[in-house]
Structure 1
């Protein structure tokens, strides 16, 4: 049986493919973000766009990040429109997961003819890409 988190990931990835198939590669990231938000809304998914994330240290805020999209208060989605993804992009998503306490993040890259999808899972001190 698939977990609720996996089902949500699949739905959001499906929305990403819909956007990618419709728009193709070549636009700025903001275009894909807007289109994905429209698709998420059509699918009836609750989301926050450009969500500010605070990084805490011993009870103090020591930094801020801005996540592209957080879906259903459960899934972090980071968008790119690049020719290739690097380990630094994976690290960015992992840092966002650590900052929010969320477990799962998607890294969607619209910069290539076929949508690039990475699903990252934060397990406290162990990080993995699924």
Structure 2
């Protein structure tokens, strides 16, 4: 991936998000950054909102991490984002290792 090849690993997540936003804008990829989703329980809106890093092409959730590994917690959170959003596909990308790591999640 261009962003990882240019920046490598070790930066904060926000750096990679900013770089991805430049790529999406310059390559005319439709996206929303920090999209929020509401959660309901028993027909009532909960106070907490979910904020996903990116929604690309209005259907793919892109979650950015910068950790030593992708954990079960990262996967569970991303699956919850899929449930709440109604989307079916997510990419969980980890820039925190010596090699780019990613998982494709389908719900």
Common topology (TM > 0.5): yes
Equivalent in the alignment of 1:90: 75
Equivalent in the alignment of 1:78: 63
Query: Unpaired runs of 5+ in structure 1?
Result: 1-16, 123-130
| d(CA) in 1 for partners of 2:7, 2:75 | 24
Equivalent in the alignment of 2:26: 42
Deviations 1:56-88 (A, max 9, x none): 223321231110001111100000011111111
**TM value normalised by structure 2:** 0.94
Which has a greater percent of strand? 1
| d(CA) in 2 for partners of 1:87, 1:25 | 21
**TM value normalised by structure 1:** 0.78
RCO (CA 8 Å, sep 6+): is it higher in 1 or 2? 2
Which of 35, 38, 43 aligns to 1:51? It is: 35
Between stretches 97-106 and 37-46, larger displacement belongs to 37-46
Runs of 4+ in 1 over 3 A off after TM superposition: none
